[in-house]
């Protein structure tokens, strides 16, 4: 019994690049061909399969469900080919790319990364910074670290929680001295990042505090800039414990009311049904590091009562979206 004739490799490669980049122009630049060449290859692949892989106007094409499923499989297949070629050349080291929230990478991940490298010298880790929603059919990365709420379950992704999420107000020691009241803090300039403008209202709801309107607000594009502004005495910020623990330990920041736990979690995302021993090792290392990560300063309520948070997160379960 003869096997079906597979599609041309060039067509598969062009379609995978288009799906990953979300456009013909970027795919053409990667493959060093013209926009029209990519378009023709994608059209040829659809004709060969007899299935619509893309839909929409010419300048706003998107993947159909069949196209998204094929793209996810092709990305894994081409990654496996790359690894096989590297192995044939005698390069036994595997490189994985992890997309990570920028401030989390700087404050939590990278300081711990030497431990992973020492335990796995055959695995190279490349960290790229992003906070955007991950799409493994588009983004050629092996895994991603993000913050997800309990009701978020991205499709076709394996989700491993590894660190709880705590937030609280932080400021320079001269701005938020010992004994400062919530009323006094409410009169200080409030800092927030453009990626989470609702930080103050979310914290207020967590601890049962109704804050008056801010006398002055300062917005920064990223959490890291906001944290540095707090260190410089420009105001008070609501920040995750994981982002500011090193600065609090070093005395650059203080947390006058501790940190309250949110239902969201730091999670590791990877493509579903794409086996990879190196990614497995990185995921398991994250879970182990999360389990021994220092607990935050307990949250103090508006009346001064302590609201103890739970200890470090234990072994994480895997949720399939």
Give the model confidence (pLDDT) of 56-87 as tens digits: 887 778 888 888 888 877 776 776 676 666 56
- Confidence tier at 107 by pLDDT (50, 70, 90): very high
pLDDT for 27 beyond 80: no
Global pTM reads 0.70
Q: Which of the two residues, 50 and 89, has the higher pLDDT score?
A: 50
- Report the distance separating Cα 213 and Cα 215, nearest Å: 6
- Report the distance separating Cα 295 and Cα 161, nearest Å: 16
pLDDT for 189 beyond 80: yes
Q: Which of 25-29, 39-43, 194-198 is least confident? A: 25-29
Q: Which of 26-40, 52-66, 194-208, 271-285 is least confident? A: 26-40
Measured over the CA atoms of residue 310, residue 311, residue 314 and residue 317, the dihedral's sign is positive
DSSP strand pairing (157-170 vs 319-320): antiparallel
Which residues are registered as beta bridge partners of 299?
307
pLDDT for 312 beyond 70: no
Q: Which of the two residues, 9 and 298, has the higher pLDDT score?
A: 298
pLDDT for 100 beyond 50: yes
Q: What is the pLDDT of residue 170?
A: 98
- For residues 169 and 201, is the Cβ–Cβ distance under 8 A? no
Q: 93-321: same fold as 9-88?
A: no
pLDDT for 91 beyond 70: no
pLDDT for 161 beyond 60: yes
3-state secondary structure of 169: strand
Domain coordinates in residue numbering, the chain: 9-88, 93-321
3-state secondary structure of 53: coil
Given this structure, which CATH class describes domain 9-88?
A: mainly alpha
Give the model confidence (pLDDT) of 239-259 as tens digits: 999 999 999 999 999 999 999
Q: What is the pLDDT of residue 22?
A: 74
At the topology level, CATH places domain 93-321 in D-Maltodextrin-Binding Protein; domain 2 (3.40.190)
Which residues are registered as beta bridge partners of 9?
none
Tell me which residue has tokens 């913050």: 147
């Amino acid at each position: 019994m003869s096997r079906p004739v597979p599609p041309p490799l060039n067509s598969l490669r062009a379609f995978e690049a288009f799906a990953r980049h979300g456009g013909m122009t970027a795919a053409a630049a990667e493959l060093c061909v013209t926009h029209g060449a990519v378009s023709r290859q994608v059209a040829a692949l659809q004709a060969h399969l007899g299935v619509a892989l893309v839909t929409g106007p010419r300048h706003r094409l998107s993947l159909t469900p069949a196209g998204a499923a094929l793209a996810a499989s092709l990305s894994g297949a081409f990654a496996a080919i790359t690894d096989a070629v590297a192995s044939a050349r005698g390069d036994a080291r595997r490189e994985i790319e992890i997309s990570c929230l920028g401030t989390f990478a700087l404050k939590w991940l990278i300081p711990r990364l030497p431990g992973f490298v020492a335990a796995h010298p055959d695995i190279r880790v490349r960290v790229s910074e992003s906070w955007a929603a991950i799409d493994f059919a588009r983004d050629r990365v092996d895994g991603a670290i993000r913050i997800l709420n309990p009701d978020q379950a991205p499709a076709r992704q394996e989700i491993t929680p590894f660190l709880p999420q705590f937030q609280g107000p932080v400021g320079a020691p001269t701005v938020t001295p010992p004994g400062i009241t919530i009323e006094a803090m409410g009169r200080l300039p409030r800092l927030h990042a453009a990626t989470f403008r609702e930080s103050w209202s979310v914290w207020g709801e967590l601890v049962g505090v109704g804050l008056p309107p801010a006398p002055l607000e300062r917005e920064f594009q990223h959490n890291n800039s906001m944290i540095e502004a707090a260190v410089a005495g420009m105001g008070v910020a609501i920040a995750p414990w994981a982002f500011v623990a090193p600065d609090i330990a070093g005395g650059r920041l203080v947390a006058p009311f501790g940190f309250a736990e949110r239902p969201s979690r730091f999670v590791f995302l990877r493509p579903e049904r794409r086996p990879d021993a190196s990614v497995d090792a990185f995921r398991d290392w994250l879970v182990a590091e999360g389990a021994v990560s220092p607990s935050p300063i307990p949250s103090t309520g508006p009346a001064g009562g302590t609201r103890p948070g739970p200890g470090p997160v234990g072994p994480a379960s895997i949720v399939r979206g």
